[in-house]
Amino acid sequence: MNFLKALFIFLLLTIPFAQVGRLQLGSGVAITINDIAVAIIAIVWFGRTISKKKLKNLNSALSKPIFIFIIVAFLSLIINISNLKPFELLVSSLYLIRWVLYACLFFVVASFDSKFKTKIAYLLMMASFILVLLGFIQYFLYSDLRNLYYLGWDEHLYRLFSTFLDPNFAGAFFVLYLIFLSGILLYFLKNDKKNLVILTIVIILLTLLATYLTFSRSAALMLLGSFLTFFVLINSKKWMVGLILISLIFLAVSSKNIYIENTYLFRTASIEARLDSARNAIQIIKDNIVIGVGFNAYRYAQIRYKFIDGKETLKNHAGAGTDNSFLFISSTTGLIGLLSFLYLLFSILKRAYINYRATKKGEIINILSIIVIASFIGIIFDSIFINSLFYPFNMMWLWILVGLMENK
């Protein structure tokens, strides 16, 4: 096994740490163990690509949209350089670098051989299941984050958040995991692997329960949208009807819950907060329609607009972005950035659909293409309510999936 593959296995093994491995480097700057692992992998891969003159590794249908978005994001910072203090420019640039490093995972995974890609799939399955198990342990032993409020975390009473320390992002990740598991289950059924079928079904049921216990409404909508897409692609009308019925039962049961604001399905406090966040973002977009305020410079724009207090926002995680990924990208990179980002999403979905149509039902590339399409449709639903498209662990997961799908 070469060094790059060993590093990638290490990355997958860091998944269960999530935010527990978070290191605060300064005001508004934090990295996780995953960030460090991704950075090392990207640097090693890029170094090898250049030294061995294997630039063909960058030759993909997705290369162009990825590079266009990077260029637009970079220009948004350069054009806004006069509005940003040196430290603010540095922090915003670091987050752009992080996005680039995570995007490199696509090229890294795409360059691996099919045997190692299979190993990646199994490791994703098991490492993510550890996250689910840690979530249950947390839910029963530590269902209150009030003692970490001083570090900027919300309290999240009586909700499962695992090592993400946030039930909404945990819920989104669990849904991505469920889509992946469902695709893997299809593959095991097709290849008559009975023992693995039973194991996968058990993991799916436990992950469904974990997703429910996050009490995340955005994750529930993501689950509905992604699995409707999944069942359409596998042409299963029975499962579609079943999903709709289960969703109706879920609504009926949840509406009867004892009223606790944090877990009540029809709670209003978070809705009002999201609406306020959206109004602030729209105001910033109106004033910076072309190229935005600079990629990931949203926190500093909010301070200039006096939407948030400069001293207080550096103590929490809420001021760095808005609750909608598309409002976030529009406000930070403008209309040009939004169009380039939509072009990237469209290119990924187009690539996946072409693979889906070009391969036989039940083949691994066919199943991976279904997983990618359903995952991106789901995350688009979720990103309307939380900034999930730019959440590092979601980015890592999605780029790995797209890399696994790439058939070279």
Q: Which of 325, 315, 346 is nearest to 388 (CA)?
A: 325
As a whole-number percent, the residues of the chain with pLDDT over 90 amount to 60
Tens digit of pLDDT for each residue in 116-126?
A: 999 999 999 99
- Cβ pair 274, 385 in contact under 8 A: yes
β partners of residue 23: 31
- DSSP-derived secondary structure for 218-232: HHHHHHHHHHHHHHH
The answer, yes or no, to whether residue 177 has pLDDT greater than 70, is yes
How many Cα neighbours within 13 Å face the side chain of 71? Answer: 10
pLDDT for position 255: 52
Question: Rounded mean pLDDT of 264-283?
Answer: 76
Question: Rounded mean pLDDT of 73-91?
Answer: 93
Q: Which residue has the higher pLDDT, 222 or 362?
A: 222
Amino acid letter at 8? Answer: F
The answer, yes or no, to whether residue 259 has pLDDT greater than 50, is no
- Cβ pair 19, 153 in contact under 8 A: no
Question: Rounded mean pLDDT of 248-268?
Answer: 55
As a whole-number percent, the residues of the chain with pLDDT over 70 amount to 84
Question: Rounded mean pLDDT of 259-277?
Answer: 64
- Cβ pair 10, 41 in contact under 8 A: no
φ/ψ of residue 289, rounded to 5: -70, -30
The answer, yes or no, to whether residue 313 has pLDDT greater than 80, is no
Amino acid letter at 358? Answer: A
Residue 59 banded pLDDT, cuts 50, 70, 90: confident
Place of tokens 């460090």: 36
Question: Rounded mean pLDDT of 288-293?
Answer: 95
The answer, yes or no, to whether residue 314 has pLDDT greater than 70, is no
Tell me which range, 26-30, 40-44, 306-310, is most confidently predicted by mean pLDDT: 40-44
The answer, yes or no, to whether residue 188 has pLDDT greater than 60, is yes
Residue 250 banded pLDDT, cuts 50, 70, 90: low
Question: Rounded mean pLDDT of 84-89?
Answer: 90
Which parts of 214-321 fold into alpha helices (H)? 217-233, 237-255, 269-287, 298-304, 310-313
On average, the pLDDT of the chain sits at: 87
Burial class (CB in 10 A: 0-12, 13-18, 19+), 45: buried
- Other Cβ atoms less than 10 A from the Cβ of 207: the count is 21
pLDDT for position 310: 64
Which parts of 256-363 fold into alpha helices (H)? 269-287, 298-304, 310-313, 325-358
Residue 193 banded pLDDT, cuts 50, 70, 90: confident
Number of domains in the chain: 1
- Cβ pair 320, 298 in contact under 8 A: yes
β partners of residue 29: 26
Q: How far apart are CA 203 and CA 216, in angstroms?
A: 20
pLDDT for position 258: 47
What residues make up the domain containing 365?
3-405
How many Cα neighbours within 13 Å face the side chain of 72? Answer: 24
Tell me which of 95-99, 171-175, 265-269 is least confident. Answer: 265-269
Question: Rounded mean pLDDT of 278-282?
Answer: 92
- Cβ pair 21, 10 in contact under 8 A: no
Tokens, residue 258: 């004892």
CA angle 72, 225, 136 (to 5 degrees): 100
The answer, yes or no, to whether residue 330 has pLDDT greater than 80, is yes
pLDDT for position 92: 92
Question: Rounded mean pLDDT of 128-144?
Answer: 90
The answer, yes or no, to whether residue 267 has pLDDT greater than 70, is no
Query: 3-class DSSP state for residue 191?
Result: coil
DSSP letter, residue 149 = G
Query: 3-class DSSP state for residue 65?
Result: helix
